[in-house]
Copies of this chain bind each other. A is one copy, B any other.
């Protein structure tokens, strides 16, 4: 298992980690690359990384989708836990000849939902 470290700078943020994941997967042969976020207020998704406006629209939309109900959790970050469960804690990408097989416009994003914090991502090749 390989670990990537990320330092986020704001509360909500999408960090493109495609190159870091590709670096770990390199030489892994054929199979799947599993990218796992060991946090409960962050997530990982695959989406367009060509136009940075897409990532900005996504974080704004995640915030706008949180319902205006009273949350009980004392830390006050239930909105971040909510979006983390909807986006998911892992993605899995086909690996061919040690290279990530992503679509033309796809990149892998770490999604910070309750930053700024120091975060980890675990990468496994199977």
Chain A interface (Cβ within 8 Å of chain B)? Answer: 1, 31-32, 34, 36-40, 45-48, 51, 53-54, 56-58, 60-61, 64-67, 69, 71-75, 78, 81-82, 84-94, 96, 101-106, 122, 124, 126
Instruction: Give the dominant DSSP class at A's interface.
Output: mixed
Asked if B85 contacts A47 (CB within 8 A), the reply is: yes
A66 to B, closest residue via Cβ? B61
Stoichiometry, copies per complex: 3
Chain A to chain B contacts (Cβ below 8 Å), 24 pairs: A1-B96, A32-B34, A34-B92, A37-B103, A38-B101, A40-B48, A40-B105, A45-B85, A45-B89, A47-B81, A51-B74, A51-B75, A53-B74, A53-B78, A56-B72, A57-B78, A58-B85, A60-B69, A61-B67, A85-B87, A86-B87, A88-B91, A89-B106, A92-B92
Residues of B within 8 A of A102 (CB): 38
CB-CB under 8 A for A40 and B73, given A61-B78, A82-B61: no
